[in-house]
């Protein structure tokens, strides 16, 4: 089970929800289920409107790491993922800071999700 804490200037306070073990829901799906207003459009990794910043409470736990190819290329296009960060992710299992909520699945580790409330505008 993972604690996923959502934080945004457009929310009155942070909200923590639980992602059940074996959960395959994206962070965007989890947010929708709990009425957390992360902006989105395509829900398919193409538009970048669901950009989020992720803090990993236990950086040694890497199950959230997997970047989808779509996520990787969109984050690169947005200037939120450098070649060095891709290498760090793929070679050294270092989780990247920026993610797309519609692609990112929080599995077993606790994370804090930060978003501005503006499409494509992480805090
Ligand atoms: S909603 Fe379009 S990239 Fe996530």
Mutating to test ligand 1, I would choose from 48, 78, 99 the residue with most ligand atoms within 8 A of its C-beta, which is: 48
Quote the percentage of the chain above a pLDDT of 70.
89
Q: What integer pLDDT is reported at residue 8 of this predicted model?
A: 96
Å from CA of 30 to ligand 1 middle? 14
Residue 122: pLDDT band (50, 70, 90) is: low
The minimum-distance atom of ligand 1 relative to the CA of 70 is 3
Å from CA of 53 to ligand 1 middle? 14
Å from CA of 93 to ligand 1 middle? 24
The minimum-distance atom of ligand 1 relative to the CA of 71 is 3
Average pLDDT, the chain: 87
The radius of gyration of the chain from alpha carbons, rounded to an integer in Å, stands at 13
Query: Taking residues 76-103, what's their average pLDDT?
Result: 88
Q: What is the pTM of this model?
A: 0.89
Query: Taking residues 55-80, what's their average pLDDT?
Result: 80
Q: Which of 114, 104, 113 is nearest to 43 (CA)?
A: 104
Quote the percentage of the chain above a pLDDT of 90.
52
Å from CA of 41 to ligand 1 middle? 6
Could you tell me the CATH superfamily of domain 2-114?
Beta-grasp domain (3.10.20.30)
Q: What integer pLDDT is reported at residue 59 of this predicted model?
A: 61
pLDDT for residue 89 is more than 70: yes
pLDDT for residue 28 is more than 80: yes
């Amino acid at each position: 089970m993972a604690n996923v804490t959502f934080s945004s200037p457009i929310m009155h306070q942070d909200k923590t929800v639980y992602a059940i073990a074996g959960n395959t829901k994206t962070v965007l799906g989890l947010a929708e289920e709990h009425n957390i207003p992360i902006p989105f459009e395509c829900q398919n990794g193409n538009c970048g409107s669901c950009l989020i910043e992720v803090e990993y409470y236990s950086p040694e736990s890497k199950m959230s790491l997997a970047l989808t190819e779509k996520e990787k290329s969109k984050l690169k296009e947005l200037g939120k993922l450098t070649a060095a960060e891709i290498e760090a992710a793929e070679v050294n299992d270092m989780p990247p800071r920026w993610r797309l909520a519609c692609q990112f699945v929080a599995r077993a580790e606790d994370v804090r999700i930060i978003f501005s409330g503006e499409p494509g505008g992480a805090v």
